[in-house]
Structure 1
Amino acid sequence: MRKSIMTGTLAAAFLATGFGQVHIAEAAENPQAPVTRGEYVVELIKHLGVEVGDGTSITFKDVPKELAPYVEKAVELKLISGINKDTFAPDQKLTRLHAFVIAGRSLQMENAPLSTLDKFKDSKNIDAMHKQALANVAAANILKGFMDGTIRSTKIVTAGQMANILDRLMDNMQTTPVEDEDKVTLRVLGTSDIHTNLANYNYYSDKEDNTIGLANTAALIKKARTENPNSILLDNGDLIQGTPLGSYAALKKPLQKGEVHPSVAALNILGYDAATLGNHEFNYGLDFLGEVMDDAEFDWVNANVRNAATGENYFKPYTILSQEVVDEDGEKHKIKVGITGIVPQQILGWDAIHLTGKVTVDDPIEALEATIPQMEEAGADVIVVLSHSGIGSDTYVKGTENVGYQITALEGVDAVITGHSHLKFPGDYADLENVDSGKGTINGTPTIMPGSYGSYLGVIDLDLELVDGEWVVNDGTGEIRSIEGVKADQEVLDAVKEAHEGTIDYIRQPVGETATPINSYFGLVQDTAAIEIITAAQTAYVKKQVAGTKDESLPILSAGAPFKAGSRENAADYTNISAGPLAIKNMADIYHFDNTVSTVKVTGAEVIEWLEMSAGVFATIDPASTEEQNIIDAEARSYNFDVLDGITYEIDVTSPAKYDRRGTVVNEKANRIKNVQYNGKPIDLTQEFLVVANNYRVGGSYGATFVKEDKSNLTVYAYENREAIVDYIIEKGSINVTPDNNWKFTAFPANTNIMFRTADVAKNYIPEGSNIEYIGEDKNGFGKFRLK
């Protein structure tokens, strides 16, 4: 039974909360008492009989907590908005106009003709934006007007008038047949780029770290499922590589048939529904990947990798989940959710050693354009794309690595989970065309990119309605939720316990000691110990391998890069090892990737070309400018900056780059590399050298440029670069790594202001007597430094 206006119970509640004390008693006895916005909302929600929440989601700062649940529900039902996002003004007197407008928003009816208002003498005073709403309530007999035929829209609504408005509204709702609408909000939860960060543990610092870890993400997953049980859970790839745990499971205690990879064990225990493959899934070869995949209790999908021999999809191109959901009326339905995924074509280069001749990779956009109609024909009601590709740019270039933006615009795609770039969306990419960061959509498609290492959970909510027997996506939103402040999930910790403890035992194995600190803070602007130890160890290893062979007399040049140097705007991503004991964990910190030693024979001319490619990480400095100029291309990756030890040379950053940061020629005649010398003399352009690098560099990065078609000048050793470093330190026992400063920038023109960014803590590690000067703190944990 409907409640009468201002019942004793309501009045008591108002008095108990302290809200509306001035008017409640008066309103109960005096129908002429004015009504406030807050009082009206409470009565309306109570009359509608809807369940209220706890009020914590509202953004208004002036709503008392006792009133908040009612205001929250009114906002949710789209009955009210507010003065602005921070202000609701609950004590402000409510006009008759707004009382009718708010009430009318709860009606389910077709718009009435505006001529409905013609019977009111003062209807011309109603502003255009509210005329339709008032016409609707007038047609519904909620707005009747005064005896003199007026509305008096600007007058304050009284308690008696409020009672009449709400009673008429309830009468209208009782006499209007309500359709049994089949509406469902399907929740899509997503993770990406976990990189074997399963426990809340940093294996490099060898301590608990609650800024990372799927165990922390799991707490958010379980909470999100509680909020909406109509949920599916998906992973977007780069799952099995990236920490010493990944190396341990692949190389130190290799996965055996029947054993479950710890990453898969974690996904199994959390009940993932599907996953796609990232580029790093291919780092250990297809056989190992197959062993990882075969114990999953969920489907792996990929639509653009094909068997090179047969041309068939190498993996399952898509899966369709028959998801049971419960609609708003408590009825159960089955929704068919189609899941597919893609990986960048560039994996053919990045992991050429493992993939050449075994697979081909289709253009991701073309692959999805072919796959999506197949999914629709197979009955998919909803299609979600797992895009292990960054969002990229709103300008499309065929063959580009990051195509997430273009995927959101494909016909038939209802939601996109993207990653690969380790960034965040909503958040990053706000400046692209057709991006709604507030709603979490790109080109109208709900999209999420949940950072990396388990730091965020992506949440997509799709509003579906059953129309003429088919599920239609009416709307959708995307958001990411931070793991900050959550407690690690014990189920996940238990699932990975054996591998986690085995990894800790492994990384704590001692190998030697260093007399000097080793860090990579300045690895992009000067020679550093972090690179020197890599190149020295590689040279020592290869010298032993070529001893007694025809290559023994070849001069050896060793390539090393600052693998950890703040990549992807991560100020914690630097090598920093104190003087003292060294353990395996430090080796993983020095050499971040699971590469294997490789050599390629090149000429002196090709050595210079190699260095020109490496110098593509630098911006071009304007020698005439006195403005601040960043010497490093912000989009470049530090692991592409090879230092070649065994020669000396200079880099002239006032010269345009010959190659861009991807190793593509952009200025054929440019020449940044100057004064290249071997043994104190200008390098002989025809002399042959043996360059030591890694399988990534010679397999698909710019080092592959120098590999002959028959690969007669290439040798790939089945030995990790990291192991070569371990051997070197064990043999030496104690090392004293001092940079030999074999490279430098040519002198900067007078009056130029050259700066770079590195971790702000690097100010404590500026080498004595260097040309580096600390400027001040920058954003995201970085600092600004000047090169003098």
Structure 2
Amino acid sequence: MPLPTDSDAVRLTLLETSDLHGTILPIHYANNEPYEVGLAKIATLLRRERRRAESEGGLLLAVDNGDLIQGTPLAYHHARIDNAPPNPFVLALNKLGYDAAVIGNHEFNYGPGVLNKAVRESHFPWLSANIVKAGTEEPFFGRPYLIRECNGAKIAVLGLTTPYIPNWENPQNIEGLAFLDAVESAKRWVRYLRREEGADVVVVSYHGGFEKDPDTGEASEAQTGENQGYRLCMEVPGIDVLLTGHQHREIAGKSVNGVTIVQPGHLGQKAGRVTLTLVPGDGGGWRVADKTSELLSVQGVVPDPEVLELARPYEEATQRWLDTPIGSIEGDMTVRDPMRLRMKDNALIEFINKVQMETSGATISNTALFTDESPGFPPNVTMRHIVSNYIYPNTLKVIRITGRDMRAALERNAEYFVLDGEGRPAINPKFAVPKPQHYNYDMWEGIDYTLDISRPEGSRVVRLTHRGEPVDPDAEYDVAMNNYRAGGGGDYAMFQGKPVVKDIPTDVSELIANYILERKTVVATVDGNWEVIVGGR
């Protein structure tokens, strides 16, 4: 049988963004310095790729894989300070002619009002087959897939979302929703797309990552169901391409069980490109003759002027808000060495815990240094400093736990550390790979404790007292923490299902700002209630 000629072939290009987290402009909001990130740079790549596809008589599909509308001060300002104008991220995707977006877990952070408004303003569908109306199998956000045709070839894009969201999200933000298993949903819908819709190509865009190493198949994280990408490739027949995200990894040029995979990192540093060549099938229809995946970097790319102009009024309002003076710090709350900060009580973490305790009335609190880029607070504080340190829209909860739960949580904290070849503290790879998880290491106030990281995991808490007495395993303690942790997020299963004593549905960043505004001057204090040691050192 003769091979198809070029004129017989259909060329399909998929351009994926994922985990943009509210990043349009190529800047660091902490200092407004240039940063090689953002949708404005991605836009230039997208327009280039679309021109190339059209010149070849092919089709380009642009898909955002989720976690779009949250993550920067611009996103926060639009959601919390002035949500009346159209969503700027949706406006940008509309302008760029995106074909679809997938619901990510952070889409829910600002509540249903903000999310539903963004969906209404979109000229493209938001896809998620496994987020359904509670008690049904009916997708909540409408049709869970998209069909496009090119020269008679039928291409389907199915959306899926990590079902682990109820373990993190504020329950009122996901009321009336159910999150079905992504693998089981994919089995149902991929079969439907092949049999009922007659799809020649099935692309699954999944806001989730890989629970196993794509190369070896070895488990790379706890098998909680948060990430199911490997199972999707192995257990769901009929998938040609799997677009992934959520883990902020950079993956391309690989396939699992014949499924081409890609994951483009985060913040718009890269875009994922998948190129497929379709040829006529033996029995009619089309088959995939070739497919490849790669990552396109925005390094050195000139931002798209239309997207910059679209974002300009939002950015100007955000910058004015960020430079609003809040108050002053007497003492030192700056971050010089994140590793050292996580090993001994310090003024910055003690202050955030103090805000949580005084706001909630709890006498015990925990919080984290979310990222190594956190600068701390300088002597004169603005909103820019607040949102540069407390980067997530977490709210505050007080839950009632036992002393046994407390010890288990501290043992989980202690897993953050390993000792390197010279016996020095280092970050455990499971908190760094496939993405940094500094936000899953908490530091506590209101109790006194010591972690000896030279000891085996599970036996590192060598001191734990409350008000001068050993913590009773069976006694109950009320602890303030963010809603993510209170739901068990970060593998803190000991917190799941605990009684909620108080729910404060205000962003912690706002609580911090209000605390400083009311007092004008905050004195840095360190009571030395905790430390991390190595064998008594």
| Fold match by TM threshold 0.5 | yes
Query: Using the alignment, how far apart are the partners of 1:640 and 1:591 within structure 2?
Result: 14
Deviation (angstroms), 1:283 = 1.4
Query: Using the alignment, how far apart are the partners of 1:406 and 1:295 within structure 2?
Result: 34
Deviation (angstroms), 1:479 = 0.6
Aligned partners of 1:345 and 1:399 also within 8 Å: no
What does residue 672 of structure 1 align with?
Answer: 460
| Pair 1:247-2:69 in alignment | no
| Pair 1:269-2:95 in alignment | yes
What does residue 633 of structure 1 align with?
Answer: 428
Letter of the structure 2 residue corresponding to residue 392 of structure 1: E
Query: Using the alignment, how far apart are the partners of 2:90 and 2:73 within structure 1?
Result: 16
Letter of the structure 2 residue corresponding to residue 216 of structure 1: K
Query: Using the alignment, how far apart are the partners of 1:466 and 1:680 within structure 2?
Result: 77
Q: 2:344 is matched with which residue: 523, 526, 544? A: 526
Distance 1:629 1:400, change over 3 A: farther
Which residues in structure 2 correspond to 1:305-704 (within 5 Å)? 305-324=131-150, 333-354=151-172, 358-376=176-194, 377-393=196-212, 394-395=217-218, 399-409=224-234, 410-426=236-252, 437=253, 440-467=254-281, 468-514=283-329, 515-519=331-335, 521-522=338-339, 523-543=341-361, 556-565=363-372, 574-577=373-376, 579-619=378-418, 627-628=422-423, 631-636=426-431, 637-658=437-458, 671-685=459-473, 688-701=476-489
Distance 1:406 1:645, change over 3 A: same
Query: Using the alignment, how far apart are the partners of 1:280 and 1:477 within structure 2?
Result: 29
Distance 1:185 1:630, change over 3 A: farther
Structure 1 stretch displaced more, 672-681 or 490-499: 672-681
Aligned partners of 2:488 and 2:495 also within 8 Å: no
Distance 1:576 1:339, change over 3 A: same
Query: Using the alignment, how far apart are the partners of 1:252 and 1:193 within structure 2?
Result: 23
What does residue 532 of structure 2 align with?
Answer: 745
Deviation (angstroms), 1:399 = 4.6
Query: Using the alignment, how far apart are the partners of 2:451 and 2:228 within structure 1?
Result: 33
Aligned partners of 2:485 and 2:495 also within 8 Å: no
Query: Using the alignment, how far apart are the partners of 1:484 and 1:529 within structure 2?
Result: 37
What does residue 716 of structure 1 align with?
Answer: 503
Deviation (angstroms), 1:534 = 0.8
Q: 1:299 is matched with which residue: 110, 116, 125? A: 125
What does residue 434 of structure 2 align with?
Answer: none
Q: What SS does the aligned partner of 1:587 have? A: helix
Give the superposed CA RMSD: 2.6
Deviation (angstroms), 1:425 = 1.2
Distance 1:727 1:287, change over 3 A: closer
Rg larger for: 1
Query: Using the alignment, how far apart are the partners of 1:675 and 1:180 within structure 2?
Result: 72
Deviation (angstroms), 1:222 = 1.1
Letter of the structure 1 residue corresponding to residue 399 of structure 2: V
Aligned partners of 2:453 and 2:534 also within 8 Å: no
Which residues in structure 2 correspond to 1:94-105 (within 5 Å)? none
Q: 1:216 is matched with which residue: 41, 44, 59? A: 41
Distance 1:683 1:445, change over 3 A: closer
Considering fraction of residues, name the structure with more strand.
2
Query: Using the alignment, how far apart are the partners of 2:313 and 2:187 within structure 1?
Result: 43
What does residue 86 of structure 1 align with?
Answer: none
Distance 1:578 1:683, change over 3 A: closer
Deviation (angstroms), 1:190 = 0.8
Q: What SS does the aligned partner of 1:719 have? A: coil
Q: Which consecutive residues of structure 2, in runs of 5 or more, have no partner in the other structure? A: 432-436
Aligned partners of 1:322 and 1:334 also within 8 Å: no
Deviation (angstroms), 1:585 = 1.2
Query: Using the alignment, how far apart are the partners of 1:223 and 1:201 within structure 2?
Result: 22
Structure 1 stretch displaced more, 737-746 or 359-368: 737-746
Letter of the structure 2 residue corresponding to residue 607 of structure 1: M
Query: Using the alignment, how far apart are the partners of 2:270 and 2:496 within structure 1?
Result: 41
Query: Using the alignment, how far apart are the partners of 1:277 and 1:706 within structure 2?
Result: 26
Aligned partners of 2:360 and 2:504 also within 8 Å: no
What does residue 768 of structure 1 align with?
Answer: none
Deviation (angstroms), 1:706 = 4.5
Query: Using the alignment, how far apart are the partners of 1:388 and 1:228 within structure 2?
Result: 26
Which residues in structure 2 correspond to 1:92-131 (within 5 Å)? none
Distance 1:444 1:729, change over 3 A: same
Query: Using the alignment, how far apart are the partners of 1:180 and 1:598 within structure 2?
Result: 61
Letter of the structure 2 residue corresponding to residue 297 of structure 1: H
Which residues in structure 2 correspond to 1:67-78 (within 5 Å)? none
Aligned partners of 1:320 and 1:380 also within 8 Å: no
| Pair 1:732-2:531 in alignment | no
Letter of the structure 1 residue corresponding to residue 192 of structure 2: Q
Q: What SS does the aligned partner of 1:563 have? A: coil
Q: What SS does the aligned partner of 1:228 have? A: helix
Query: Using the alignment, how far apart are the partners of 2:456 and 2:122 within structure 1?
Result: 50
Distance 1:681 1:232, change over 3 A: same
Letter of the structure 1 residue corresponding to residue 356 of structure 2: Q
Deviation (angstroms), 1:295 = 1.1
Q: What SS does the aligned partner of 1:635 have? A: helix
What does residue 93 of structure 1 align with?
Answer: none
Aligned partners of 1:677 and 1:683 also within 8 Å: yes
Q: Which consecutive residues of structure 1, in runs of 5 or more, have no partner in the other structure? A: 1-107, 111-177, 325-332, 427-436, 544-554, 566-573, 659-670, 750-787
Letter of the structure 1 residue corresponding to residue 75 of structure 2: G
| Pair 1:233-2:62 in alignment | yes
Aligned partners of 2:333 and 2:348 also within 8 Å: no
Deviation (angstroms), 1:221 = 0.9
Q: What SS does the aligned partner of 1:513 have? A: strand
Q: How does the TM-score come out when normalised to structure 2? A: 0.89
Distance 1:264 1:708, change over 3 A: closer
Deviation (angstroms), 1:401 = 2.0
Percent identical pairs in the alignment equals 31
Query: Using the alignment, how far apart are the partners of 1:517 and 1:366 within structure 2?
Result: 49
Deviation (angstroms), 1:537 = 1.5
Q: Residues 332-389 of structure 1: CA distance to partner in whole angstroms, max 9, x if unpaired?
A: x243221112111210111142356522222211111111011112122211111111
Distance 1:556 1:477, change over 3 A: same
Q: What SS does the aligned partner of 1:271 have? A: coil
Distance 1:307 1:626, change over 3 A: closer
Count of aligned pairs between the two proteins: 515
Letter of the structure 2 residue corresponding to residue 495 of structure 1: L
Q: What SS does the aligned partner of 2:76 have? A: helix
What does residue 22 of structure 2 align with?
Answer: 196
